[in-house]
């Protein structure tokens, strides 16, 4: 089968198939073809295609890590490269896919979670320049979703890694979605603040769309703020 036809078929599956059935259906194609097409799908303007690609990465690469850990590492490094300025790329979907994979693979989470966290950290003094802060708000949205997904799955570990302090600055972003995602992440960490601190972030009849468990879910911002308020 020609490469273009494979790409077309996989994109159609991502757009139309039930998410839980996608990994099994993708077994019909060569592994490398699936991976390369999923990378392309992360940049698609169709939200369903893009997020289903994120889910598929979680299923496929976590399974790969059990059978060939080094091959799985190659894919994780490929994500990191797309987020590198020198790559010439932008990294659309990379934080989301990495987080989904790490939620499914303990081995890869232990090896790469500190790298994902570094993208919410700014450089400190000269001796402590560990941050790889992402400045583009659209990338920050995906990054915060990824960090948040890990926080909801592993709150104690993420809190131990100091994520909560790094999230606070996003509450004052000029991008409203970034701000809302930051509040959602803090809930995942079990954070609590005074009512006075949380009050400015209340929004009547405003919801945040979150992709979780293969589907899009609407979360009311007032409900998020209630959970944060001690």
Each residue of 181-217: pLDDT tens digit? 999 999 999 999 999 999 999 999 999 999 998 899 9
Q: Which two tokens stand for residue 181?
A: 């995602």
pTM of the model: 0.93
* Residue 112 shares a structural domain with residue 187: no
* Three-class DSSP category at 21: helix
Range of the domain at 191: 137-230
* Cα–Cα distance measured from residue 94 to residue 222, given in angstroms and rounded to the nearest whole number: 30
Average pLDDT on 30-40 reads: 93
Name which of 89-98, 143-152, 158-167, 177-186 the model is least confident about: 89-98
32 assigned to some structural domain: yes
- The pLDDT, as a whole number, for residue 115 is 97
* Residue 103 shares a structural domain with residue 22: yes
* Residue 225 shares a structural domain with residue 141: yes
Return the DSSP state at 124.
-
Q: Is the pLDDT of residue 11 over 90?
A: yes
Average pLDDT on 55-82 reads: 96
* % the chain with pLDDT above 90: 81
Average pLDDT on 84-91 reads: 67
- The pLDDT, as a whole number, for residue 82 is 94
- The pLDDT, as a whole number, for residue 123 is 72
- The pLDDT, as a whole number, for residue 24 is 86
Average pLDDT on 131-157 reads: 96
207 assigned to some structural domain: yes
- The pLDDT, as a whole number, for residue 89 is 63
* Residue 108 shares a structural domain with residue 2: yes
Q: Where are the alpha helices (DSSP H) in the chain?
A: 3-16, 22-26, 31-41, 47-67, 69-82, 94-104, 106-118, 137-153, 155-160, 163-167, 176-188, 195-198, 221-228
- The pLDDT, as a whole number, for residue 159 is 97
* Residue 84 shares a structural domain with residue 174: no
């Amino acid at each position: 089968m020609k490469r273009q036809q494979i790409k077309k078929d996989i994109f159609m599956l991502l757009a139309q198939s039930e998410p839980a059935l996608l990994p099994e259906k993708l077994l019909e194609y060569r592994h490398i073809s699936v991976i390369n097409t999923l990378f392309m799908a992360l940049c698609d303007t169709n939200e369903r295609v893009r997020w289903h690609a994120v889910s598929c990465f979680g299923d496929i690469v976590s399974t790969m890590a059990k059978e060939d850990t080094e091959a799985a590492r190659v894919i994780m490094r490929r994500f990191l490269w797309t987020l590198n300025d020198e790559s010439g790329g932008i990294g659309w979907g990379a934080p989301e896919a990495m987080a989904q994979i790490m939620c499914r693979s303990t081995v890869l989470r232990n090896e790469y979670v500190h790298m994902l966290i570094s993208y919410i950290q700014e450089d400190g003094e000269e001796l402590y320049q560990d941050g790889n802060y992402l400045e583009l708000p659209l990338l920050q949205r995906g990054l915060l979703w990824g960090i948040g997904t890990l926080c909801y799955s592993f709150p104690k570990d993420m809190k131990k890694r100091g994520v909560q302090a790094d999230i606070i600055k996003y509450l004052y972003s000029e991008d409203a979605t970034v701000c809302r995602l930051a509040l959602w992440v803090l809930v995942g960490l079990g954070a609590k603040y005074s009512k006075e601190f949380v009050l400015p972030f209340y929004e009547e009849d405003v919801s945040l769309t979150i992709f979780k468990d293969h589907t899009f879910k609407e979360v009311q911002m007032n409900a998020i703020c209630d959970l944060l308020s001690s």
